[in-house]
Structure formats: C-alpha cells, structure tokens
Amino acid sequence: MNASQAAVAAIRAELSRNARYDDESVVHPAWIRQRYECCFPGYRAARQAAVTAAWHEAGHAVAALAVGARFSSASIRHGARSEGRVHGITGGGEQAFVVDAAGQLAQRLRDWSLPGTDDELRAWLADWRGDGGDASRFRRAIRARSGADEVAAWRHTERLLTPLRPRIQLVARALLVHPRHLPCEVVTAIAGDCRPAQRPSRASSIVSSAAGSASSRAAGIGLPLRTERP
C-alpha cells in the first residue's frame, strides 16, 4: 500500500466513524486551532470558517474532475492570502469556467441558498468580485467569445454540479477530517466518478476554449482570506 492508498483508507475509516455527525463536528483540531490562533474570536467561528472553506475547495476539486481537468492537491490550510486552495489546475477546455464558479456554487449548495430567479442571479453576479481571483477568471473564460452570458454560464455550472452535491460534501468532509493536503489521486478516489454520462452540448455555445488562460489558473484557486478579529 502506497502513501495515497494509505491516506484514502484512513480518510474512509474516519468518515465512516463520524458518519452520524454534521460537518462542524468532524473538523480536525488542527484546522480549528490554526484559524483561532490567527484570526477568529473563538473556536466556534474558527470551526465554521473551516467548514465553509472545505465546501468551497471541494467544489473546485469536484468540478475539475467533472470537466476533465487536473490539479496537484486540495487543502484548507489557512494561509496569508487564502482560507484554502486547489493547486495547479490545468485543462478543462471550454468548460474551465465551471471550475472557477464551483467554489461559490458549492458554498450555496451546502445550505441550498442558490439564487432562484435569473434576476436574483444577475444581481448576485453583479456583486461577485475578488473571491481569490475566481470571479475574474470566470468572466475571462466566458467572455472570450463575444456575447457570452454570465447567467447562462452559471446555470450551466449549476446543472452540472447540483447532482454532484453528495460527492462535493464527501470531499469537503475528507478535507475536514484529514490534517494535511489531499493529492489529486486521493480526492479522485474519495469522490469517485464525477464525469457526466454525456458531455453537456450547450457548453460550446456559452464560452470558447479556456486553454489560453491555463497559465493563470495553474497557480491554483481558492477561498480568499477572511479575518473576523477586530
């Protein structure tokens, strides 16, 4: 058994042991202490921040697997500039924008707070800025083709990832119980097959190839740093 196989076995055992508990109850103490010592006023706030980060990064990771992209690792380690990161993302082709939107979408899948009507979504998108570079990468990818529609691109991402919510939660919980980063092969083993049965045909009508933006994505994407101490 190699290191990745051992990590998968350990994570599965921990997830099984904690199956009855909610996400906040399974956060490894290392992730709580790291946030508490850095930025958050109490253990409860630190625990909640870790869960949010885990769903965000799990969204990016599962989306990458769903569109055929690759990455080196995923982590919810609190850093100087982010709450977590999916490192070294490459590929994804014309659906690379799905990976960029997936962090925010996964956070909203967690509590089913997705924007309802297109008007609500349009208003939310107008306020979506920063987010560790996710927002700007999403817009660059879909605007590569004249007339690209942000709402249509988001709805495409929503249709693709909503059925994968159980896999996103599984990867999020794996990130929470494991005190180190998860290599791509470990995430893949935990998540299982995330590819859709049939590649969505509308993607090519929404955006053009994102290959030109691969170099800007390779550094990784993740949840930006948030601090709560005054």
Residue 72 near residue 188, CB atoms below 8 Å: no
Distance CA 18, CA 16 (A): 5
Asked if 60 contacts 103 with a C-beta cutoff of 8 angstroms, the reply is: yes
Beta strands in 52-164 (DSSP E): 73-75, 85-87
* pLDDT given at position 196: 82
- Taking the domains of the chain in order of start, what are their residue ranges? 3-217
Other residues' Cβ atoms within 10 Å of the Cβ of residue 164: 25
pLDDT (0 to 100) of residue 145: 55
Of residues 126 and 199, more confidently modeled: 126
| Residue 70 DSSP SS3 | strand
pLDDT higher than threshold 50 for residue 197: yes
CB atoms within 10 A of CB 58: 35
What residue has token string 């990771």? 61
Instruction: Give residue-wise pLDDT tens across range 145-194.
Output: 545 799 999 999 999 999 999 999 999 999 999 999 999 999 999 999 99
Question: Where do the DSSP E strands lie in 61-194?
Answer: 73-75, 85-87, 182-183
The answer to whether 60 and 99 have CB atoms below 8 angstroms apart is yes
State residue 208's pLDDT score.
40
The Cα–Cα gap between 54 and 43 comes to 16
Model pLDDT, residue 205:
47
pLDDT tier at 144 (50, 70, 90 boundaries)? low
Most distant CA pair in the chain, distance = 52
Question: What span, in angstroms and rounded, lies between the C-alpha atoms of 202 and 225?
Answer: 34
Phi, psi of 89 (to 5 degrees): -75, 130
pLDDT above 70 for 8: yes
Q: What is the pLDDT of residues 55-80, one digit of tens each?
A: 999 999 999 999 999 999 999 998 87
- Pair 57, 74: CB distance under 8 Å: yes
220 band by pLDDT with thresholds 50, 70 and 90: low
